[in-house]
Homo-oligomer: A and B are copies of this chain.
Amino acid sequence: MALEHAILVSLLEQPGSGYELARRFERSIGYFWTATHQQIYRVLKRMENDGWVASREVSQHGRPDKKEYSVADLGHAALSSWLHEPIEPESVRHDLAVKIRGAAFDDPAGLVREVERHRRAHTDRLTHYLAGEERDFPPVPDDGTPPDAERELQHVVLRGGVAYERMMIAWLDDVLATLRRF
């Protein structure tokens, strides 16, 4: 399970409430790890019981109070030991691939609109990633100052998202060309 660890990373980058975490999981972290707010609240509670995170009540102006969480020593240690474990070869789940192979026994041409819809979703996400990259990672001249690990690593993960979306768009074009031959 890596939700705990994703939360730890997110809280290390920036402490925040369950609600704020849920919003981050709709963007940023959420590009490669999804979670709903119910899940986040439940896991945060468990993590607090385990001493991985600590919370404090924060009053806000014009809004309900929030509970701001930050990473405790035990949490930092737990993250560290997880980082040093080898494991997890990742398992893939691709509904669309199942659909494409299934289309052979139904109506191949009928899948075109569905694939086009997916293609649009991926181009949208690519556009979004590229805008984020331009905003958050403008090119800096190498003036000899040491690189910032947090920033560089966030950037390389984002580049992974960009590469993934580009690959998917190219493949979906291949799929569309194939479907249109029937």
A interface residues with partner B (beta carbon < 8 Å)? 2, 5-6, 8-9, 12-13, 29, 31-34, 76, 79-80, 82-84, 86, 88-108, 110-111, 114, 117-118, 121, 147, 149-150, 152-157, 159-160, 163-164, 166-167, 170-171, 174-175, 178, 181-182
In the bound complex, what is the Cα–Cα distance between A13 and B102 (angstroms)? 9
Of B8, B86, B108, B164, the residue contacting A102 (CB under 8 A) is B8
In the bound complex, what is the Cα–Cα distance between A32 and B175 (angstroms)? 16
CB A126 to nearest CB in B, in angstroms, measures 13
Q: Are B33 and A97 in contact (CB under 8 A)?
A: yes
Q: Which residue of B lies closest to A80 (CB)?
A: B106
Given contacts A90-B96, A163-B170, 17 further A-B contacts (CB under 8 A): A2-B98, A32-B92, A83-B102, A83-B106, A86-B114, A88-B96, A97-B157, A104-B150, A104-B153, A104-B154, A108-B149, A108-B153, A156-B174, A156-B178, A159-B171, A160-B175, A163-B167
Q: Are A149 and B182 in contact (CB under 8 A)?
A: yes
Q: Are A90 and B101 in contact (CB under 8 A)?
A: no
